[in-house]
Amino acid sequence: MMLATLAGLILFSVVWALMMFSFIGSLASLSSDTPVVPKEGVLYMNMSNFVIAEKENPMDMTGLMQGNMTIKTLGLLNAIQALNIAAADPGVKFLYMRPDGVSAGIADIEELRRAILKFRESGKAVISFIENPSNASYYLASAADKVYVTASKGGMNTVIGLSSQMFFLKDLLDKLGVNMQLIRHGKYKSAGEMYIKNQISKENYEQTHAMISSIWNSWVADMAASRDITPDRFNALVDDLALVEPEDFVDNGLADAQLSREERKQKLCDLYMAEDFNDVQFIPFEDYTIARTSAPKFSTNQIAVIYADGEIVDGDDDPQNVAGDTFAEMIADVRANDMVKAVVLRVNSPGGSVLASDKIRKELQLLRESKPVIASYGNYAASGGYWISAESNYIFSDATTLTGSIGVFSLIPEFGKAVKNLAHINVTNVNSNRHSDMYSSMRPLDGAETAYVQQSVEHIYDEFTSIVAEGRELRKTYVDSIAQGRVWAGADAIKIGLVDEIGGIEDALNRAAFEVDGSASYDNFYIVRYPAAMTPLESLLSSFQDVKTPLVFGGTPFEAVERAFSSLKDAESGKVYARLPYEYIIK
């Protein structure tokens, strides 16, 4: 029996190994395959088939593991470049867009819309069709020459303005016996406020309302201009809940017509000049992007795009975040590369560790001594994200970017009472010195300890404002007045001098080219990305190494509460952070 068992185990191991080699071999072949796209047709942008992210990934590995190989992750820059290529491609007849189900950050959506408008400048038509209008999907749809809505009933309209929810946990924590000790600088630095208050502070409400209103006003200005109505008229329709049925969009000038399924087919035939719908050839946008932007190209005249995408954390080997040591070393490699003539620092980060942020900033200082560094802000460029980029030669921000948050905080939880009352455990700390257990989380800080942490917070805040003042050529007292931890939308940040110009990653690339040799466009430069995009195989292996427990309350109103407790668990007691108060989810 022992021999039989051993033989069975060996046989199983061999079969399993062969299956794994076969699976990995298949993925490896996928990583090198480029989609074959028709030479002629309609560029079809069905946004439920792909995700727009800061960095490209040919395939969503979660979908692959579930047997769904249709969802692909397109890098924002790749998507923009694909639209530019399509505008000049005689094989692309027009752009047909279905923005329902769009998945992208709010600033990424702004840049994608800008690229669609640029595509229209080529003289090619852009038409959009929507069935369930949302703030984001209609914002994109409104960039088209013609906006069509469904003639069917049962769709849902959520063009109702933007909203962000905040949860305050003090009452719950009090019941559990958990004491949260927040030490911060900046009356607007609301990081940790959810743990120490049971309702929003006046300052936090002021900054959040101003930020949400600024983002919405930017979107409304664009949508109203595209549909030739006033922003006041657009807001009145939203405030009065006048957009109920698809015909309401048509009646109020927000759409051109309602189309049934057959009418939509006929409209596409007419534009394609085809007798039959079966003769209309569609080119999936996700395939076109991968095929056209992955073509081999090389030049010693390079612009590097460095993606600071994710939370700024200490250490290295964290592909999901901006790991300080790894990132600093990568910047040093770019500095040593003589083929790289300029750098675009693409920041999409809510901040994080001050230590890691300053390591990165110091490497960027050295880099700027030999190459211009142009910052481009994505959805977030706040706190630590602003720390690393404030000294750039030039800063572009989207109007909807969340930036600023120039402030720091430290959060020290105290669970002693909760441990005793809930778990009936008594804790005794044995110390070598008077304050050895101040970060044990088992007792509250005394006055001297609170002053000690506050001193560290004040010192780092002073350093932060000095960095901004020098980098932006502003008086330090003025920086302090606009800092205080306040978060600004990009449209407001430009007014107070935190950024130089409203624009996207393409604008930053063009500016980088101009800094090198006066070029008006980056077309003559080879764009190299740091870190390089992972192949599907690398993405799969990374997903095995970075298995995260799924949220229990994901998709429910309690998801934000669960995330709040998760971030509390991950925070290091007593450490000083330069980070956004929340990762705002704006809908």
Spatial CA neighbour of 113 closest among 254, 262, 1, 221: 221
**In this structure, what token pair is assigned to residue 70?**
């249709």
- Is residue 189 annotated as a catalytic residue, yes or no? yes
How many of the other CB atoms lie within 10 Å of CB of 416? Answer: 19
217-240 residues labelled b (16+ CB within 10 A) or e (exposed): bbbbebbbebbebeeeebeebeee
The single residue of 383, 389, 392, 397 carrying the catalytic annotation is: 383
Site of tokens 């719908």? 277
Token representation of residue 499:
């950024």
DSSP-derived pairing of the beta strands 146-150 and 126-130:
parallel
Question: At residue 146, what are phi and psi to the nearest 5 degrees?
Answer: -130, 135
Helix (H) or strand (E) holding 459: helix 447-472
- Measured CA to CA in angstroms, residue 183 lies from 175, 199, 411, 460, 534 at distances of 22, 18, 6, 12, 39
d(CA 361, CA 353): 12
Could you tell me if 347 and 580 are in contact, meaning their C-beta atoms sit under 8 angstroms apart?
A: no
Euclidean distance between the first and final Cα of the chain, in Å? 63
Tokens of 68: 């769904």
Report residue 357 CA to chain centroid gap. Answer: 18
Cis amide leading into 38 (omega within 30): no
Annotated catalytic residue: which of 55, 93, 189, 359? 189
Nearest Cα to Cα of residue 74 among 38, 36, 35, 125: 35
How many CB atoms sit inside 10 A of residue 158's CB? 14
Check residue 101 and give left, alpha or beta (phi > 0: left; psi -120 to 50: alpha).
Answer: left
360 neighbors 308 (Cβ within 8 angstroms): yes
Contacts of residue 63, Cβ cutoff 8 Å, sequence gap at least 6: 69, 70, 71
Q: C-alpha dihedral over 45, 51, 56, 62, to 10 degrees?
A: -130
265 is catalytic: no
Tokens of 408: 């720091």
Question: Length of the chain, please?
Answer: 587
One-letter amino acid at 35 equals P
| DSSP 8-state class, residue 229 | -
What residues are labeled active site? 189, 383
